[in-house]
């Protein structure tokens, strides 16, 4: 029994392909989401279908697995039985919990209600649609005010989201929204710590900071979010509070275990994560394992894709060994750190890859693009993502955006668009392009 169709769950399932087992894969969704590219959906560069993969398609190359859509509500470890939402009960011999984690709002007032995380496909679509709704509203009613987009969290997701939003404003909006004054559209990145991309080397952190500033991101370091409201965020820096009026607040900081894990009768450690031993076995729960973000072992691992994938493969190896009576010969799980990377925008990224020098700029960006395309599940998704990203980054004349429906805008005052106004808007765009060319 595998709970969770993410990186770790799929890795475990595939590693058990030739084992004499019958696998049930359970997930609350019928699809796998490639979370590292969710921000590309949120910023209208990729279709949601480009980064999602139908979990039932796993049977195309593996007949010993079946899929069951459901949410685990309880686990009877003695009877080895799962309870699912809707009074469904499923028995197992071995259990692998790979269900991932969820957003941690750290008790920030109003954050859960008014901020949007980037952890699920639906949330990315919410950010995307809200973005264009705000721009259409601003085009009619916002000529005498400013529009601010706030991203909370200076980790990889926050930096990538802020960079993508800034590039959209700088490169696409002068053509697609010529009636808007770019100087009135602000992208603000708020980070509590003294630097963005904390886990990276200092030189790479400084490069990322300079790249964000080059794209006119309003970078607020050493700044804490005290409250999120319907119309913006209250922040504090150096003991001084400031309210930033914002149309969108993206929450890209911190994760924690799903509340439902409390009902699973498992030992939990920091962040509600399930405690495991050196073989990813859940402490004092025979036959049960936990891998990926939801697990925490004697040596805590980074909450990235690689630890989940490697953990899934190790647990599958353990189960196969136990079936043969040779589990004692399996060495403890040892994570092989292959490195990490983050992108700031076109031709700008940072990478720390094992056995390679630290990379930044175009070389790191090329590796980032290639690795993310290769890691996607399904050839169709790889091809579609490659085409969409190539269209965005390689063909400067393309300003197409992948959008959804937005509500009609009601003017707050009488609006007249005259030929003279249109001509002035065209001149404004041409002037911006000329200035950009000189720079």
353-361: average pLDDT: 92
Tell me whether domains 2-28+70-101+257-329 and 111-252+339-393 share a fold.
yes
> Residues of the chain with pLDDT > 90: what percent?
77
Return the pLDDT at 276: 97
Residue 418 binned pLDDT confidence (cut-offs 50, 70, 90): low
The CATH label, of 3.50.50.60, 2.40.440.10, 1.10.357.10, 3.30.720.110, for the domain at 2-28+70-101+257-329 is 3.50.50.60
The answer on pLDDT for 439 being more than 70 is no
Return the pLDDT at 421: 46
For the CA atoms of 21, 325, 311, 26, the dihedral, rounded to the nearest 10 degrees, stands at 30
Q: Could you tell me how many residues make up the chain?
A: 439
Task: Enumerate the domain spans of the chain.
Answer: 2-28+70-101+257-329, 111-252+339-393
The answer on pLDDT for 423 being more than 60 is no
Q: How many CB atoms lie within 10 A of CB 259?
A: 9
CATH topology of domain 111-252+339-393: FAD/NAD(P)-binding domain (3.50.50)
Q: What are residue 94's DSSP bridge partners?
A: none
- Are the beta carbons of 382 and 373 closer than 8 angstroms? yes
Residue with tokens 């799929």: 10
211-224: average pLDDT: 97
Helix (H) or strand (E) run with residue 163 in it: helix 156-167
The answer on pLDDT for 287 being more than 80 is yes
The answer on pLDDT for 403 being more than 90 is no
Residues 6+ apart with CB under 8 A from 56: 30, 67
The answer on pLDDT for 292 being more than 70 is yes
Return the pLDDT at 180: 87
Q: Which residue has better confidence, 228 or 413?
A: 228
Q: How high is the mean pLDDT of the chain?
A: 91
The answer on pLDDT for 118 being more than 80 is yes
- Could you say which of 133, 136, 137, 160 is catalytic? 160
Tell me the backbone φ, ψ of residue 406, rounded to 5 degrees.
Answer: -125, 150
Decide if 160 is catalytic. yes
How many Cα atoms within 13 Å fall on the side-chain side of residue 219?
22
Residue 341 binned pLDDT confidence (cut-offs 50, 70, 90): very high
- Least confident range from 153-157, 295-299, 401-405: namely 401-405
Return the pLDDT at 437: 54
271-281: average pLDDT: 95
Residue 420 binned pLDDT confidence (cut-offs 50, 70, 90): very low
Measured CA to CA, the distance from residue 216 to residue 309 in angstroms comes to 37
The answer on pLDDT for 122 being more than 90 is yes
The answer on pLDDT for 416 being more than 80 is no
Q: What are residue 227's DSSP bridge partners?
A: 109, 234
The answer on pLDDT for 411 being more than 80 is no
69-77: average pLDDT: 96
Q: Which residue has better confidence, 438 or 378?
A: 378
Taken in order 304, 307, 310, 315, is the CA torsion positive or negative? negative
244-251: average pLDDT: 96
Measured CA to CA, the distance from residue 417 to residue 420 in angstroms comes to 8
């Amino acid at each position: 029994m595998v709970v969770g169709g993410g990186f770790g769950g799929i890795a475990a399932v595939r590693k058990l392909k030739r084992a004499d087992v019958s696998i049930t894969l359970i997930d609350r969704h019928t699809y796998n989401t490639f979370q590292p590219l969710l921000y590309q959906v949120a910023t209208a560069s990729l279709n949601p279908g480009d980064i999602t993969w139908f979990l039932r398609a796993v049977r195309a190359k593996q007949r010993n697995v079946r899929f069951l859509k459901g949410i685990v509500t309880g686990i009877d470890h003695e009877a080895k039985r799962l309870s699912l939402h809707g009074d469904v009960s499923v028995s197992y011999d071995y259990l692998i919990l790979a269900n991932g984690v969820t957003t941690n709002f750290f008790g920030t007032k109003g954050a859960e209600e008014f901020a949007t995380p980037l952890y699920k496909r639906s949330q990315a679509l919410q950010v995307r649609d809200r973005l264009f709704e705000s721009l259409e509203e601003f085009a009619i009613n916002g000529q005498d005010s400013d529009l601010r987009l706030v991203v909370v969290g200076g980790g990889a997701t926050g930096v990538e989201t802020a960079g993508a939003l800034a590039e959209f404003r700088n490169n696409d909006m002068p053509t697609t929204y010529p009636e808007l004054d770019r100087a009135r559209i602000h992208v603000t990145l708020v980070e509590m710590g003294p630097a963005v991309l904390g886990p990276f080397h200092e030189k790479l952190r400084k490069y990322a900071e300079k790249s964000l500033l080059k794209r006119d991101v309003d970078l607020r370091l050493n700044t804490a979010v005290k409250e999120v409201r319907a119309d913006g965020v209250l922040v504090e820096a150096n003991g001084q509070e400031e309210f930033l009026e914002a149309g969108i607040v993206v929450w890209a900081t911190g994760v924690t275990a799903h509340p439902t894990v409390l009902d699973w009768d498992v030992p939990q450690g920091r962040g509600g994560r399930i405690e495991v031993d050196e073989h990813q076995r859940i402490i004092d729960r025979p036959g049960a394992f936990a891998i990926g973000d939801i697990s925490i072992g004697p040596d805590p691992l980074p909450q990235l894709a690689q630890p989940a994938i490697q953990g899934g493969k190790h647990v599958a190896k353990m189960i196969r060994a136990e079936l043969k009576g040779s589990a004692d010969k399996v060495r403890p799980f040892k994570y092989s750190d292959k490195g990490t990377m983050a992108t700031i925008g076109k031709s700008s990224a940072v990478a720390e890859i094992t056995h390679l020098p630290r990379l930044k700029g175009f070389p790191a960006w090329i590796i980032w693009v290639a690795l993310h395309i290769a890691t996607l599940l399904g050839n169709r998704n790889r091809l579609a993502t490659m085409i969409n990203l190539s269209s965005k980054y390689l063909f400067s004349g393309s300003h197409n955006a992948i959008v959804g429906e937005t509500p009609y805008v009601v003017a707050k005052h009488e609006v007249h668009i005259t030929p003279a106004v249109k001509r002035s808007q065209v001149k404004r765009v041409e002037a911006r392009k000329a200035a950009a060319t000189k720079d």
